[in-house]
Amino acid sequence: MAEVLTLKEVAEHFNKRPNTISDWRKAGCPALQSKIGPYDLDAVGEWVLFRRRADKRAERHKPSPLASRFQVAKTKLAECRAELLAYRVAVASGRLLCPKDAAEVIDHQAREFRRELEEMPSRYAHRLVGCRTVEEAEARLREIVWDILQRLSRLD
């Protein structure tokens, strides 16, 4: 059993930097747990060998980076499919309009609004006859606008 008194001597023996030996201590090397020497070089060597074997076993069972990326992509694909299904259910149940249907509804409402504006003079001129003041005309125009808005809000 070879023994040394300092961590620096352990580092020199294993041809490592002192920081590496400190890392081994933090990683739990039992032969390095005492704050002062002597340190058993054979025990440290056995621990290092054990760690290397354990690391190699872990490396063999570690999935490849490509497999990891494939799994991430597979998960994202499943999330997208679930989101698409939720969208389709919302459209089918009437809670959501598809863009084409929404555009048709907006176009229909715009046509109805235009028609109401074009018919306004002939349809409502009689309601302004007899207004003696600007305030009275404004009040009647507000009533007319209110009537138009109510009719437009009932459009399907």
Over residues 71-130, the pLDDT tens digits come to: 888 888 888 888 888 888 887 887 877 788 888 888 888 888 888 888 877 877 787 788
Count of CA atoms in the C-beta half-sphere (13 A) of 120: 18
Query: Residue 97's pLDDT is what?
Result: 75
Q: Which domain holds residue 118?
A: 99-153
Place of tokens 């497999």: 67
Q: In the listed set 78, 96, 114, which residue is the last one of a domain according to the structure? A: 96
The answer on 56 and 10 residing in a single domain is yes
Between the CA atoms of 18, 21, 22 and 23, what dihedral angle is there, to the nearest 10 degrees? 120
**Does 91 share its domain with 110?**
no
Q: What is the pLDDT of residue 9?
A: 85
Same domain, 7 and 57: yes
pTM of this prediction exceeds 0.95: no
Is 143 found in the same domain as 105?
Answer: yes
More confident of the two residues 95 and 62: 95
Pair (112, 147) in one structural domain: yes
Specify the CATH number for the domain of residue 50: 1.10.10
Q: Considering its fold, how many domains does the chain have in total?
A: 3
34 lies in the same domain as 14: yes
Examine the domain organization and report whether 69 and 80 are in the same domain: yes
* C-alpha of 6 from chain center: 52
Assess whether 57 and 83 both reside in one domain. Answer: no
Give the H or E element holding residue 23.
helix 18-26
Q: Are 7 and 22 in contact (CB under 8 A)?
A: yes
